[in-house]
Structure 1
Amino acid sequence: MSRTVYVNGEYVPEEEAKVSVFDRGFLFADGVYEVTSVLDGKLIDFDGHAKRLERSLNELDMDMPMGRDALLDIHRELVRRNGIGDGLIYLQVTRGAADRDFAYPEGATPTVVLFTQAKPGLADAPLAKEGMKIISIPDLRWGRRDIKTVQLLYPSMGKMAAKAAGAHDAWMVEDDHVTEGTSNNAYIVKDGTIVTRHLGNEILHGITRAAVLRFAREAQMQVEERAFTLEEAKQADEAFVTSASTFVMPVVSIDGVAVGEGVPGPVATRLRDIYLEESRKAAI
């Protein structure tokens, strides 16, 4: 059965959804996006995603296309129309359609698109019990990774490199230090301390990251926000990633080197359980 998607104020069958060939998202990757998880028919961390959307738009001199409540209504309506129990909602906002020119157009109407992906059993992914295999690649992206833009070509290349190597994902490395994964924030655990890169323009300010670090501190876990090297990661007791679609996902090997005992560790496993429990309580 066809999905219902949202395009510029209308709910339409996906086959009928249309965006202009002159849309700047298509021509220049001039747009931003967010991904909100759905568990048990409810939205996880919606307010955090809405706030980050506004921040990303502001960094590109774009206005929010609508208020928080209107955005929430659309998310909920798509969940209802598509019968989503567990899954994801993707939201993309571009600067809109205009004749091709590098300069920002004046008066263009933003393009707003939302669509769902059903993911039954999203919180029960078998990979959480097996752990991810990671490779490392140079971080060749632009310098403003804190803006969640639709320009995802290099992360796609990284995922394909990981697939070719028989791994699940790639961590990107700059100046010998890990920045983040292709679509997630990266962490190691050493002597009971959780280490993850500090916020800056070098990484995405993950919404799941913020929640996980808050829960970790509330559980009296030690957290250190600093850059760590690839060699530190390979010598760590544990490693894991966080994202809206994977929650907390253990990492068991990096470049073929086993992390710790080569199985999901207790810190990542506990954090995953805490995150899912607390997020379900706060879901809307």
Structure 2
Amino acid sequence: MTIDYSKYSLEELLDVKENINAAKYPQRYQDLLAEIDNRANSPEEQLLEQKQVQSENELEDAYNSNYGYRLEYFEFEARGDEYKRALFLLAFLLINIVFLCWAVPKYHVAPLSEVHEFRTLVDKVKCKTETVYDEELDKTTRYYDLYLQSYPETFAALGISRALCQKIAKTISVSINEAEAQEQTEISLWHEQGLVYQIAHKNRIVLPYTYMKSKIYNFQTTSFKMNWFLLIGIWIICFPSFINAIFPGTFVKNKSINV
């Protein structure tokens, strides 16, 4: 039994093509393909394509309306926009390089040989406790920081254990109290911008670099982790433009078909 496919619209024919069993009805399938080919480049086909594009745009507009967000990006022509494409890629590359130059040092703890050794007189020493409550984990964490004051500067050894913090503070405090009125306790400390890497008191290491290295790393990276979301956000925003700069026309804002 043959079917007169000329009676059906192109949209109906395409729907049948998606669902017909070509192996079971080979002749019908060939007749269907022939009818679809006959309507190639016809006004009906162009109207159908325009309808499909309009539907896609409506879905995109609905999504943007619901979520309040529309991703904007640059479009480039394959010919004539070579300078703009190169300029965009260069700017994007520089942004990433600047960010990495800012980020990488945070994940590096300088070896002790590169850290400045500073001999100073201690005026005051204090072991300070900081309590942080995490609502999500319902957990309270206490951090112990050792502060050494050598007027007008203050040095800090952050995130050390309670026992070690109190021990060092007690050792130096006793030394201060036992000193004569005209004298003060002298210590050697290795630091960068006030952040302590190691402390020596009376030629004895009381806070070793091997212990502080991981503490300094955690301090530097923990405070920086959220900045990686900044780089991820830049990539999300710039990705379509980045791809368009390499492969022009990959992302197109407004699709239209001229009938």
TM-score, normalization by structure 1: 0.24
Q: Which gives a bigger RCO, structure 1 or 2 (Cα 8 Å, sep 6+)? A: 2
Point out the structure with max Rg over C-alpha. Answer: 2
- Structure with the larger strand share: 1
- Structure with the larger helix share: 2
